[in-house]
Amino acid sequence: MANSGRKAKPLAVQESKRRVHISNAEKEARRAREAAIGGTTDHMAPPRYLATQKLKSRYSEIVSLLRAASEQLCTDLDVDAVARYVIEEDEYIAASSALRKARRDKEELKTIESMQRLKNAAFKCVDTSAKSIGLTVDARLRFDLREPEQDKPENRFARFQVANGR
């Protein structure tokens, strides 16, 4: 079974913990695979199904927040996920305001309870979407947002390895 066991961690995370036990050739092949998965940022415009200008501006705001955190965090592959979050967030806000209005107008208890269930369902959808695109604290902790090291520090023992013929 190919998907059993632990989830593979990105090579950068493994290297930061100094737990990489693979050859340099395997490292390069893995870096190439990870770079191909990353995606581009050529088409980050709001999708057409975001109908109102309010939704489009919220989409652009979230994309800019994610891109400010890291260039790798939001790519073309994430456009639909961010758009779904924006739509679900809008539905949650609408459900919350309708529930507040119903409580102010002292509607029937049955109506208020059904509206509360709708609001709770909308909140669960918003929360799930927020986690999937990294807008919650827990989700952000999963990401390795450090930039890759450009040059490695000098190995203090390199001169001894050269002297011993290694």
For residue 1, what pLDDT is reported? 46
Taking the chain (166 residues) in runs of 10, the rounded mean pLDDT of each run is 60 65 77 65 80 93 84 78 94 95 92 94 94 82 61 69 60
Residues 17 and 86 in one domain: no
Residues 30 and 49 in one domain: no
> What is the CA angle 85-91-92, rounded to 5?
85
Residue 153 within a domain: no
Residues 121 and 77 in one domain: yes
Which burial class, exposed, middle or buried, applies to 58 when counting CB atoms under 10 A from its CB (0-12, 13-18, 19+)? buried
Residues 29 and 91 in one domain: no
- Report the residue count for the chain: 166
Report the alpha-carbon distance of residue 50 to residue 4 in Å, rounded: 38
Residues 28 and 52 in one domain: no
- 8 A C-beta contact, residue 46 and residue 60: yes
When divided into structural domains, the chain yields a total of 2
Residues 141 and 119 in one domain: yes
Provide the residue range defining the domain that includes 30: 9-38
Report the alpha-carbon distance of residue 22 to residue 159 in Å, rounded: 24
0.75 exceeded by the pTM?
no
Name the residue with tokens 């290297």: 15
Report the alpha-carbon distance of residue 26 to residue 146 in Å, rounded: 22
